[in-house]
């Protein structure tokens, strides 16, 4: 089946030309074509061009969709989420308003452990239903790839339960999903820290590996959670099963997470709110994508990752929502793009690249997703008529999406 999208005011994100990620000054280049068309063949992008060059054969597609002067963008790619979780934690939201910090809440046994208690009581079916609802909301807001982490199980059975839910989502939803094993999110209530780290290494990782339930492995490498040494042991155990690392680093302190991540060939190091100049140098020349989560800084009233500095140093940056019940209960990537502009001083072009091609890279998917390129999967959205690309982050709460296509088919 061939679908033609015609009368596109501006086709956005059509300039990556086979690059798997954009770095430094390249990030301000957002390939655009005005008055454009886009042809989809089955699940993939076939070709695109200017309306004035649209030939008759292309115009006779099986289905013709009139963009009516809206723009077309590649779907957002969200490379860091925790959307498989039980219930919500708005009580802690109020505790924070009253003055408690995220760390204080965690120390008194709340936070992640609260979510783990709730998840323990929930059936796999209800957990799936709750997570699908969040994924659907994200799809309709323009997200076409989602990384989802475990990490609210904190014992072997419940971590496996979470990963099975993610596997079922991969099989049943049109959005592209990759899974990350985050047993090392917090220490499960019934264990001491060393016991729990051994459990992750000796029992959880081999079982997750045998059942092929995770593409990647993550550790919350930060003060009060897991040390650099523990992180290194866990990453080495994951590597034996082919799980590349994606690390929670430098959120609460300059934790050594970037260094241990890069040393273990991490695909991404995420958060980075407390990152310093020396970590930027550690990233240089590596294949690791620094990934900022500005929604978390906004929601927790924390510093923002130094994304401007990282780009000015010649490196790439990705952004993600971090959608989770504690530090940012939102998967709205358009708002993340606005925050990247407003709070981290990225240009709209840089922020959009950070939320598409570079975020696809941060989940190992940029060969097939993250830009408008012949042969890539046809994940894109059509906007309402809008005056310019800059309007997207500027109008920071206005919904702009008119129609969403994933794998070449419209999603309702
Ligand atoms: O990325 N920082 C660690 N993990 C999550 C928060 C999880 C939670 O509070 O439930 C994050 O912000
Ligand atoms: Fe996170």
Residues 15-34 have pLDDT tens digits of: 878 999 999 999 999 999 99
Confidence band of 344 (pLDDT split at 50, 70, 90): very high
Secondary structure of 162-225 as H, E, C letters: HHHHHHHHHHHCCCEEEEEEEEECECCCCCCHHHHHHHHHHHHHHHHHHCCCCCEEEEEECCCC
Confidence band of 57 (pLDDT split at 50, 70, 90): confident
Asked whether residue 110 carries a pLDDT value surpassing 90, the answer given is no
Confidence band of 307 (pLDDT split at 50, 70, 90): very high
Q: Is the CB of 114 under 6 A from ligand 1?
A: no
CA 116 – ligand 2 centroid, Å: 15
pLDDT score recorded for residue 59: 85
Residue 169 contacts residue 131 (beta carbons within 8 Å): yes
The minimum-distance atom of ligand 1 relative to the CA of 251 is 2
Residue predicted with more confidence, 56 or 152: 152
Q: Is the CB of 16 under 6 A from ligand 1?
A: no
**Which residue lies with its CA nearest to atom 5 of ligand 1?**
327
pLDDT score recorded for residue 15: 82
Q: List the single range of 46-60, 334-348, 390-404 with lowest mean pLDDT.
A: 46-60
Handedness of CA 396, 399, 400, 403 (dihedral sign): positive
pLDDT score recorded for residue 147: 99
pLDDT score recorded for residue 106: 84
Q: Is the CB of 180 under 6 A from ligand 1?
A: no
Residue predicted with more confidence, 107 or 180: 180
CA 327 – ligand 1 centroid, Å: 6
pLDDT score recorded for residue 267: 98
Asked whether residue 108 carries a pLDDT value surpassing 90, the answer given is no
Tell how strand 63-66 and strand 2-12 pair up.
Answer: parallel
Q: Is the CB of 327 under 6 A from ligand 1?
A: yes
pLDDT tens-digit map of 360-383: 999 999 999 999 999 999 999 999
E-strand spans in 61-103? 63-66, 72-74, 76-81
CA 354 – ligand 1 centroid, Å: 21
**Which residue lies with its CA nearest to atom 7 of ligand 1?**
326
Distance CA 32, CA 372 (A): 10
Spatial neighbors of 18 by CB under 8 A, at least 6 apart, are: 373
Residue 221 contacts residue 247 (beta carbons within 8 Å): yes
Extract the tokens encoding 113. Answer: 């452990």
What average pLDDT is seen over the chain? Answer: 97
**Which residue lies with its CA nearest to atom 12 of ligand 1?**
327
pLDDT score recorded for residue 325: 97
Distance CA 339, CA 346 (A): 9
């Amino acid at each position: 089946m061939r679908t033609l999208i015609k009368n596109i005011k501006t086709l956005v994100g059509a300039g990556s030309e086979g690059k798997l990620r954009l770095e430094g000054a390249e990030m301000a280049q957002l390939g655009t074509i005005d008055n454009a068309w886009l042809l989809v063949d089955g699940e993939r992008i076939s070709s695109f061009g200017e309306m004035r060059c649209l030939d008759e054969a292309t115009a006779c597609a099986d289905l013709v969709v009139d963009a009516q002067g809206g723009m077309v963008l590649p779907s957002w790619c969200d490379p860091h989420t925790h959307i498989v979780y039980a219930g919500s934690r708005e009580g802690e939201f109020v505790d924070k308003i009253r003055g408690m910090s995220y760390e204080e809440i965690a120390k008194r046994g709340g936070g992640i452990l609260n979510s783990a208690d709730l998840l323990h009581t929930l059936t796999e079916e209800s957990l799936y239903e709750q997570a699908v609802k969040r994924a659907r909301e994200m799809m309709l807001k323009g997200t076409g790839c989602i990384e989802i982490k475990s990490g609210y199980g904190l014992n072997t059975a419940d971590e496996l339960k979470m990963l099975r839910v993610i596997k079922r989502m991969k099989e049943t939803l049109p959005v592209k999903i990759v899974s990350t094993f985050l047993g090392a999110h917090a220490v499960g209530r019934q264990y001491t820290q060393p016991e729990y780290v051994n459990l992750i290494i000796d029992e959880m990782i081999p079982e997750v590996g045998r059942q092929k339930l995770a593409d990647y492995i993550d550790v919350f490498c930060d003060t009060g959670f897991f040390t650099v040494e523990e992180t290194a042991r866990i990453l080495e155990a994951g590597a034996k099963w082919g799980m590349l690392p994606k690390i929670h680093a430098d959120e609460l302190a300059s934790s050594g997470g970037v260094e241990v991540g890069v040393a273990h060939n991490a695909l991404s190091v995420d958060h980075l709110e407390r990152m310093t100049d020396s970590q930027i140098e550690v990233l240089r020349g590596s294949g690791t994508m620094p990934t900022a989560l500005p929604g978390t800084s906004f929601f927790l009233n924390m510093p923002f990752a130094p994304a401007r500095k990282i780009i000015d140093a010649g490196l790439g940056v990705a952004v993600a929502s971090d959608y989770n019940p504690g530090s940012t209960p939102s998967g709205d990537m358009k708002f993340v793009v606005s925050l990247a502009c407003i709070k981290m001083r990225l240009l709209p072009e840089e922020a959009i690249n950070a939320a598409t091609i570079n975020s696809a890279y941060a989940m190992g998917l940029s060969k097939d997703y993250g830009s408008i390129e012949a042969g890539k999967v046809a994940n894109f959205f059509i906007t309402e008529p809008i005056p310019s690309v800059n309007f997207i982050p500027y109008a920071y709460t206005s919904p702009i999406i008119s129609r969403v296509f994933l794998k070449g088919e419209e999603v309702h």
